């Protein structure tokens, strides 16, 4: 695989989180609504390609990712985790476990940056704690 510029990857992560967040509400088949998403959120081809890899990977591995996330929540009920934060964690964990060329520390740092943009004020710290517990798994 060719190297993807870090800016492209960050934008792709943001787009993937946005799309997955919307999918949590609609429950549509992702392939049926991805083109409409790109019409509403125009992006460069590289961003689009990497975002779609992340989206497809998260959807394919969603049960596994969610089980891993729930296993480290301690006293938190899974439904207490915000949808933005959950999707940021899903994308990062997918990259950590299934992505190529993305070190765990980079996936975690990128997740915190995406959370700063879209999530709650406490989101980045929470996401960091969850992903830190999932490292090496």
54 Cβ contact list (under 8 Å, min separation 6) = 12, 13, 16, 91, 94, 95
Number of domain units in the chain: 1
Distance between alpha carbon 106 and the CA centroid of its chain, in Å?
A: 13
| Averaged pLDDT for residues 85-104 | 93
Higher pLDDT, residue 102 or 60: 60
46 Cβ contact list (under 8 Å, min separation 6) = 4, 5, 8, 12
> Where in the sequence is the domain holding 98, given as residue range(s)?
6-134
Q: Can you tell me the distance from the alpha carbon of 50 to that of 119, in angstroms, rounded to the nearest whole number?
A: 21
CATH of the domain at 81: 1.10.940.10
Q: What is the pLDDT of residue 1?
A: 43
Short-list 28, 85, 95, 94, CA closest to 62: 94
Q: Is residue 1 part of a domain?
A: no
Tokens 């969603």, located at residue: 62
Q: Is residue 50 part of a domain?
A: yes
pLDDT tens-digit readout, 57-84: 999 999 999 999 999 987 766 667 889 9
37 Cβ contact list (under 8 Å, min separation 6) = 18, 19, 22
């Amino acid at each position: 695989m060719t190297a993807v510029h870090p800016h492209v990857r960050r934008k792709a992560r943001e787009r993937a989180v946005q799309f997955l967040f919307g999918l949590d509400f609609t429950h549509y088949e992702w392939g049926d609504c991805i083109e409409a998403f790109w019409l509403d959120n125009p992006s460069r081809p590289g961003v689009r390609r990497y975002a779609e890899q992340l989206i497809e990977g998260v959807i394919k591995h969603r049960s596994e990712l969610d089980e891993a996330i729930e296993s480290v929540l301690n006293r938190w009920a899974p439904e207490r985790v915000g949808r933005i934060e959950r999707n940021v964690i899903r994308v990062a964990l997918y990259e950590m476990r299934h992505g190529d060329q993305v070190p765990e520390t980079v996936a975690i740092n990128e997740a915190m940056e995406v959370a700063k943009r879209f999530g709650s004020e406490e989101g980045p710290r929470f996401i960091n704690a969850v992903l830190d517990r999932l490292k090496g798994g």
